[in-house]
Amino acid sequence: MRATRAIDRLGVVLTAAGVIATAFMPFIIVKANRIVAGKPMLLTQLLGQPVALALLVLLMATALAALFLRGDRARLAVATLALALLLLTIGLVSTAATPPGSTAARITPGGAFWALLAVLGLLASDALVKLRLTPWMRIAALVFYGALLFSFLVSGVLDSLSIMKEFATRADQFRNEAVGHLLLAFGSVAIAIMLALPLGVLCFWVPKLRAVVLPTLSLIQTIPSLALFGLLMLPLSYIATHVPLAASLGIRGIGTAPALIALVLYSLLPIVANTVVGLGGVDPAVRDAAAGMGLTRWRILTGIDLPLAFPVILTGIRVVLVQAIGLVTVAALIGGNGFGIFIFQGLGQTAMDLVLLGAVPTVFLAFSSAVILDAVIDSLHGSNP
């Protein structure tokens, strides 16, 4: 008979991380206001509340599942249940820890909460990977977990958390910055695609042009984002001063214009390079056959080359989209819109919950975009073996 499988090694690492976090890191931090350090409280100090005790019991069961349970569906179910109970617990214990009638008190999730969230998320991700879900099932899983989080947010269970209080006082601004973040990130990628795709085709057709364009775009990638913003401020300020039409269009040395230009410049290299690689991967015999049938170079490009190279090109677009979503936060330093406004305001006020208000949606947006585009790319690879 085949020997019994050893204890899951990833389960050992995740269990150890969860145990250490639970034993030595605070689950919540109770602060008199948004700036002071506050009083840390371990999960074991909150066991007087039934939900905290239930969470601890379920975490023990999850640890056993991570170590010994072989059924990936069962492991996924346990991890998902633990994630839901973790969110419920942080909400209820925060409500219980908030002094009655206090509007200044802040309850911040401690290191143990974030560590357990990461551990359970990795356990669920590992189970999802081992289940070998189809691309569209992966998107369905993302929708499910997004809906689970959204249900907690709208239910009011998490309203006592400091990050939700920061959101409540800035709800209108948050919506405006969210729209600005999306427009700047997706708009820059859309402009980059319109510029980089034909440039990539030309680079593929003209090797001498490729030898100049790719090193130049690589050089731009080496410039730090803040330095590039700074380099763009002077010429854009000059243009805004001397060209009234440019100023009326909103082109200035600070604000959206330099941020948009910098994001487009950063986005060019991956798309151009992947376009060249994708077109180079098309079998020359296919082009020869199409040319023998009388197809023009343009028809071959649009009907054969680009459709076959599209999965590789989309991989480059995925890279630049995730990159742009992150870089938009830095654009807040020069007056750009986006979640970076909250991050830098929080850093300036030493209010870490305000930092989280900007960082958490940025991470979620980047992660969701990566999952969706990865699923689309895998689907295209499956349809073009």
Tens of pLDDT, residue by residue over 237-293, are 767 676 776 666 666 667 677 888 888 999 999 999 999 999 988 888 888 787 778
User: SS3 of 109, please?
Assistant: strand
Cα 72 to Cα 60: distance, rounded to the nearest angstrom: 18
Q: Which of 122-131, 172-181, 330-339 has the lowest mean pLDDT?
A: 330-339
| pLDDT at site 247 | 62
Q: Which of 31-35, 37-41, 169-173 has the lowest mean pLDDT?
A: 31-35
Cα 285 to Cα 308: distance, rounded to the nearest angstrom: 13
Of 145 and 101, the structure prediction assigns the larger pLDDT to: 145
Task: Give 40's strand partners.
Answer: 29
Nearest to 351 by CA among 38, 107, 35: 35
pTM: 0.85
Range 207-222 average pLDDT: 90
Q: Is the pLDDT of residue 1 over 70?
A: no
Domain boundaries, the chain: 9-132, 171-383
The structure tokens listed for 107 are 């309850």
Q: Is the pLDDT of residue 156 over 60?
A: yes
Task: Give 107's strand partners.
Answer: 30, 161
Query: What homologous superfamily is domain 171-383 in, according to CATH?
Result: MetI-like (1.10.3720.10)
| Under 8 Å between Cβ of 28 and 41 | yes
The structure tokens listed for 3 are 């020997």
Cα 127 to Cα 78: distance, rounded to the nearest angstrom: 10
| pLDDT at site 382 | 60
